[in-house]
Amino acid sequence: MSSSPTLASRLKGRSELGVALLLGAAGVMVFLDANGLATPYSKSDPVGPRTVPFIVAGLLVVCAVLLAVNVLRGGKGEAEGGEDVDLAHPADWKTVLPLVGAFIANILLIDWAGWVISGTVLFWGSVWALGGRHYVRDGLISLALSILTFYGFFLGLGIALPAGLLEGIL
Amino acid sequence: MDVFSSLMDGFATALTPMNFLYAVIGVVLGTAVGVLPGLGPAMTVALLLPVTYALEPTSAFIMFAGIYYGGMYGGSTTSILLNTPGESSSVVTAIEGNKMAKAGRAAQALATAAIGSFVAGTIGTTLLAVCAPIVVQFAVSLGSPSYFAIMVLALLAVTAVLGSSRLRGFAALGLGLAIGLVGMDSVTGQQRLTFGMPLLADGLDIVVVAVAIFAVGEALWVAAHLRRTPLHVIPVGRPWMGKQDWKRSWKPWLRGTAFGFPFGALPAGGAEIPTFLSYVTEKRLSKHPEEFGHGAIEGVAGPEAANNAAAAGTLTPMLALGLPTNATAAVMLAAFTSYGIQPGPQLFASQGPLVWALIASLFIGNLLLLIINLPLAPLWAKLLQLPRPYLYAGILFFATLGAYSVNLQAFDLVILLVLGALGFMMRRFGLPVLPLILGVILGPRLEGQLRKTLQLSAGNPAGLWSEPIAVGIYVIVAVILLWPLLMRLWRKARPGRRPLLPANSGAADYSD
């Protein structure tokens, strides 16, 4: 990207422009998708399937532009607080990324290895990512939760979560 | 059928052992999630939706009602014992409540909050039982144009009135409406925004969307900013009040209720404005104005009552019109749909027993909440000591489980993660969550009413304002949209107005 120093300095610390970009992209996507729809003329449906998507696309694009202007003028969205949220320190990616990793591991494992294994990995991995260091105790809790929910769903609700590798044992 | 006999039938249904058990489960769960940080009633109802498919709808809704009211009670405990309110509706409670707790009067603060919530909840539920049928009588005469207008009003009002930035509210609304578009168009059968993926043809499951935005987004967001030094929880004994406390509390309870219910019942009410109004009123009327800012009991009693009365008020448009105005009501509305129950004014006619059992269970839940909150408050406060790694790992664990169990597809978990990342981004950049959820839930119904309206008028846009009610509502919509402009003109005409917020309002307390 070729950006003059002034532009670069203006962009610095304005990560919120990414939100405007996302809104704009979503708007264009909704517009293009709606544009590709067929609109057979019909008396029973004069509005057709495209009108509302067009309105939504318009809303998104307008918001994107206004937000970009707002951010460039120094506007800032207020980050959400909460009981356990400490906004004084910057985002801690060393916690978030392993957490997302545990989540993805579960997605990859759930159909093949089954819920008991993937759920254990998910809970244990999440606890570890969030700073739990009682490896054995955390592992036992993870396993117990997964097994309990597996049988709870099966016996209590009639929902059969995948047994995966442990098919026949459970 | 008249209200009283219907309500008695409702009590008969709600008091069967099974349903009573679900009411107990609901209020216990509700209080727990209200106390626990990071969890809220909307998310809990969303998580429980797939689990309750096996239940009778009546039992499920009795449990949801308990969670809804329980969350309000639990939220006040947190804001009194920690100085960081979890929900925007308990920000005001924290101002005086936490000061009282620090001065050693936590027991009285919790007591006036719990008893005030009970009084307000009972009066509010009575008003709901009386008002909802009247609203229904009025609403059955409305046609599609009016419904379309009412839904537009609700969406715009929630977006424009609540939250600190209207622009960011509308951005969130746009994203929600776009998510609501995904799937097969109900009239022409064409697929919209599915990108050729057959798994998207049925649209995004509302459970997956709600769980992703509320639970996954929240867990990731908190993980990124997890407080490393544990919060100081003020120890508390059993809540009780002295004679003086009762004397100073009962009027604020009633005034708070009077503020809360109508605001909750309005399409854009919410609980923030009435709690704030109640606080300001109590401060003005108090015989001890010097105590405000140092732990005045009126400043807890009034806003807490307003908060709970607003919760009851919110159910009026939800049950009578099918119009949710807060996150929990929105998810409950989605629950109606997933049980195959059509929300709207026909609800009272077609599902009378269910609706009255739900209202009766609100009375029962309120009483149960008073019973479990007064003596057990120290126990609930212990929940705040739950190690955070377990809490947030648990949220992710149950979010995954809930979203997966809807369709048993790993694909839903991918959507859960993607929308969870969206929820994270929204929290980071101050995009409010409520307009998105309402957009997802109301968007498709809004489009349905629009198409019905223009079908009736044979494509003539004048059909949109063919009913007088619709015209009136569009006037209100215009006022809401032009409000900032009107305010600016007003300020110009009368310069030097005092700022509305008190200097030590809870907004500043977020960061410490």
Partner B contacted by A117 (CB < 8 A): no
Cβ–Cβ of A63/B171 closer than 8 Å?
Answer: yes
Confidence check: pLDDT of A1 > 60: no
Selected residue with higher pLDDT from A14 and A53: A53
Region B25-31: what's the mean pLDDT? 94
Confidence check: pLDDT of A158 > 90: no
ipTM of the complex: 0.91
pLDDT band, residue A9 (cuts 50/70/90): low
Region B169-195: what's the mean pLDDT? 92
Q: Contacts of residue B454 in chain A, CB cutoff 8 Å? A: 46-47
Q: Specify the pLDDT at position B5.
A: 92
Q: Specify the pLDDT at position B23.
A: 95
Q: Specify the pLDDT at position A10.
A: 62
Partner A contacted by B451 (CB < 8 A): yes
Kindly report, residue by residue over B98-115, the tens digit of the pLDDT.
899 988 899 999 999 999
Query: B269: closest CA among B508, B89, B66, B445?
Result: B89
In a domain, B170, yes or no: yes
In a domain, B511, yes or no: no
Angle B163-B164-B169 (CA atoms, 0-180°, nearest 5)? 55
Other C-beta atoms closer than 10 Å to the C-beta of B18 total: 12
Region B329-352: what's the mean pLDDT? 89
Dist. CA B301–CA B246, nearest whole Å: 10
In a domain, B337, yes or no: yes
Nearest residue of chain B to residue A138 (CA atoms) = B390
Tell me what the pLDDT averaged over chain A comes to: 88
Angle at which helix B3-14 crosses helix B352-373, to 10 degrees, equals: 60
Give the domain range for residue B238.
Answer: 2-505
Region B313-332: what's the mean pLDDT? 91
- Which positions 65-124 of B are in contact with A (Cβ < 8 Å)? 78, 82, 84-86
Region B56-63: what's the mean pLDDT? 93
Selected residue with higher pLDDT from B235 and A28: A28
Q: Determine which helix (DSSP H) or strand (DSSP E) holds B183, and give its type and residue range.
A: strand B183-184
- This prediction has a pTM of 0.89
Token pair for residue B398?
């149950």
Q: What is the largest CA-CA distance in chain B?
A: 69
Token pair for residue B480?
């809401």
In a domain, B510, yes or no: no
Is B263:B67 a contact under the CB 8 Å cutoff?
A: no
- Tally of domains in chain B: 1
Tell me what the pLDDT averaged over chain B comes to: 88
Confidence check: pLDDT of B499 > 70: no
Dist. CA B367–CA B27, nearest whole Å: 10
- Which positions 464-483 of B are in contact with A (Cβ < 8 Å)? none
Kindly report, residue by residue over A25-36, the tens digit of the pLDDT.
999 999 999 999
Is B34:B75 a contact under the CB 8 Å cutoff?
A: yes
Q: Specify the pLDDT at position B269.
A: 64
